[in-house]
Structure 1
Amino acid sequence: MWRLCDLPNRIRVSPGFCLLTAWFALDNGWELLGTVLGAAAVHELGHCLVLWLLSAPINGLKIGIFGAELAADRRGLSYPGELAAVLAGPGANLLCAALLTLLGGTRWAVFSGANLVLCAFNLLPVRPLDGGRALYLLTAWAAGPAEGEKAVRWAGGGASLILAASLVWVMVRTGGSLWLLPAAAGLLAAAGRELWLGGLKNS
């Protein structure tokens, strides 16, 4: 696991992430940005806790325009163990939202909502989101890695196309919301990558 003195060298933040967060804050306010980042921190802590319990070393954290990704040594994990680590992030968001709803009522409604949205978004069957990784692991566990790869490529490609089209529709209908543009572009890129790779695999 990390030593405290190693943390600055283990965390990588992309310039694109800094620009996107600044853009989001200017458009939606710094308070909402803090709420979203807080929900993201809960998410990553969920992953870290399960990886720590499974004795899987964490080597670093990359924070980019499409979210955060933990670099961990998963070679010693079984399919169930890796699946637990993958689903721990959305699970932490769901648990946090449930606890805040029970304890705080409407006081923490926005933070609870941010956790629920982040949980749902990360469960989409799109790589590198947790849902895409979970779909691969479940299918590979049941039918082998080749079938897992095929399932996540086609499911991820289709879901990415639908979501990208939905985000573009929202931007057109609202007459703005341009901070959704990076997400739409990323989903289109994911769709192209997955469907193109799927087509090559079957050719």
Structure 2
Amino acid sequence: MKFRIHPILLPIFLFFMIVGGVSLYAMILFSLVFHELGHVLAAKQSGMKIRSCTILPYGGELQIVNRQLATKRQRLLIALGGPFATAILLLIGLVSTFPGSAQFTHIQFLLLAVNLLPVLPLDGGQAVSVLLENKQNKYASRSVFLLYSIIASISISLFLSTYLPDSLPYVMISVFLAIQNIISYRFRKYEQAFEKLSASRSFSME
């Protein structure tokens, strides 16, 4: 499994290093990696094989082999694995006292709160998307939820932009989310066709 850091993190990390120093940068990076390890462990426990992991401002993105064939239960467990890991760090920060513990706890709270927002591709959005779909409306519900996520992420970025320059990292993250959702919406039909083809191949091999 390959690990990499998305380039969008570089200006965000630079901002936090200027504002809070190297210690803040280190805590944020550690928190993001630990969050993503939660997803990795959940995927492995669900029997999924991971190809790569990309660390993003809100956590990360896993490239999972045959992800399109995963069951609702598997996808739900994977989506909740990251928030569960962050919740563990948050609990540690709340019950322990160490240098920078208050800042560490604040980071975990923000990371957990952001990831549980019901907006794709955040973990909360992934979980809600899985729970909403069924065999009859699977692709239709995905498309509608993607449209909602586009509108929500753009609205969040516009709201946060009123607090610039302090909100700059969060504006960048929300804009990045909007772009990801727009790309996913544009290519949704190709993804659906690929998923159906993979499912039919899997069925014919059984």
Please give the range of the TM-score, normalised by the shorter of the 2 chains. Answer: 0.7 to 0.9
Q: Is the 8 A contact 1:125 1:155 kept in 2?
A: no
Contact 1:153/1:197 (8 A) holds in 2: no
- Counterpart pick for 2:54 among 49, 58, 62: 62
Q: Are 1:102 and 2:95 matched, yes or no? A: yes
In structure 1, what is the Cα distance between the partners aligned to 2:43 and 2:174? 31
Q: 1:106 to 1:31 in 2, by over 3 A?
A: closer
User: Is the contact between residue 157 and residue 194 of structure 1 (CA under 8 Å) also seen in structure 2?
Assistant: no
Residue 64 of structure 1: CA displacement?
A: 4.8
Contact in 2 for aligned 1:139/1:147 (Cα 8 Å): no
- The answer to whether the 8 A contact 1:86-1:133 is kept is yes
Output one character per residue of 1:6-46: Cα deviation in whole Å (capped at 9) or x when no partner.
xxxx2333444334322331233221111111211221111
Name the TM-score, length of structure 1 as normaliser.
0.75
Query: 1:135 deviation in Å?
Result: 1.8
2:29 is aligned with 1:37:
yes
Q: Is the 8 A contact 1:160 1:190 kept in 2?
A: no
**CA-atom RMSD in angstroms:** 3.0
**Is 114-123 or 177-186 further displaced after alignment?**
177-186
Q: CA deviation at 1:154?
A: 3.6
Distance 1:65 1:100, change over 3 A: closer
Asked whether the 8 Å contact 2:153–2:177 carries over to 1, the reply is yes
Match of 2:168 among 167, 173, 178: 178
SS of 1:127 mapped into structure 2: coil
1:6 matched residue in structure 2: none
Matched, 1:20 2:25: no
Q: Percent identity?
A: 24
Aligned counterparts, 1:1-203, within 5 A: 2=1, 10-64=2-56, 67-73=59-65, 74-75=67-68, 77-104=70-97, 108-141=101-134, 144-171=137-164, 176-189=166-179
| Partner SS for 1:40 | helix
Indicate how the Cα distance of structure 1 residues 156 and 93 shifts in structure 2: closer, same or farther if over 3 A, else same. same
- Give, as a single letter, the amino acid of the residue that structure 1 aligns with 2:146: R
Partners in 2 of 1:99 and 1:113 — Cα distance?
Answer: 12
Unaligned stretches of 5+ residues in structure 1: 3-9, 199-203
State the shift of 1:90 in Å: 0.9
Structure 1 residues 93 and 142: CA distance shift in structure 2, 3 A: farther
The C-alpha deviation readout for 1:68-91, integer Å capped at 9, x for no partner, is 211112355320121011111012
Normalising by the residue count of structure 2, what TM-score does the alignment of the two structures yield?
0.74
Shift of 1:63: 3.3
Deviations 1:95-141 (A, max 9, x none): 22123312438962221221121111112222222122212111114
